[in-house]
Amino acid sequence: MTVKKLFRRSLEKQTEIEAVEYDPKLQNYREMISDMRDNNFKQVIINSELMINIMEDVFLSGGILQKIKLDEGSDEVFHQDIEDLIKKVRNDKKNFVLLKNELSWAEEYDSIDINSMLIFYNGFQSEIKSNGVVIGDNPSDVINEVIAPLLKRYLA
């Protein structure tokens, strides 16, 4: 399993996205972040609006949304409704609009109500977390093909 932490920095008129691989068992998370800050990088925090956009880009690229983990403050009925909609999307892609509409309340710029999502993209499963950590057997594909381009547009 590969773990990567996303960082960003602005260079003239563009945003650079860097995905730093690290081993949580061997490296100190706080020190890694401090080292990146020393190189003028800032952490990427993936708010709910970005999560929904990543979800949509993964979906449009033929990927599969497997699970969404919401903030603990969301009620159990809502969690079940979301799980049911994810299953419906797998059976009929037209249901993605319903899922996106159901999550629209969380699209505020500073909302982090979507903690993580589990996706299947290009043959590999990855978990994308709101703290900017991406975990999977091959997270580079989803980072390079979906997340980084989206972040560059979003942060421009």
Integer Rg of the chain from CA: 16
DSSP string, 75-110: -HHHHHHHHHHHHHHHH-GGGHHHHHHHHGGG-STT
**Mean pLDDT, to the nearest integer, of 43-53?**
93
pLDDT digits (tens, 9 = 90+) for 141-156: 999 999 999 999 988 7
Q: What's the first-to-final CA gap in the chain, in angstroms?
A: 31
Residue 33 has pLDDT above 90, yes or no: yes
Residue pair 143/19 in contact (Cβ under 8 Å)? The answer is yes
The token duo for 87 is 């299953």
In whole angstroms, what is the distance from residue 32 CA to residue 45 CA? 15
pLDDT at 56: 93
Return the domain boundaries, the chain: 48-131
Percent of the chain beyond pLDDT 90? 72
Residue 86 has a CB neighbour count (10 Å cut-off) of 20
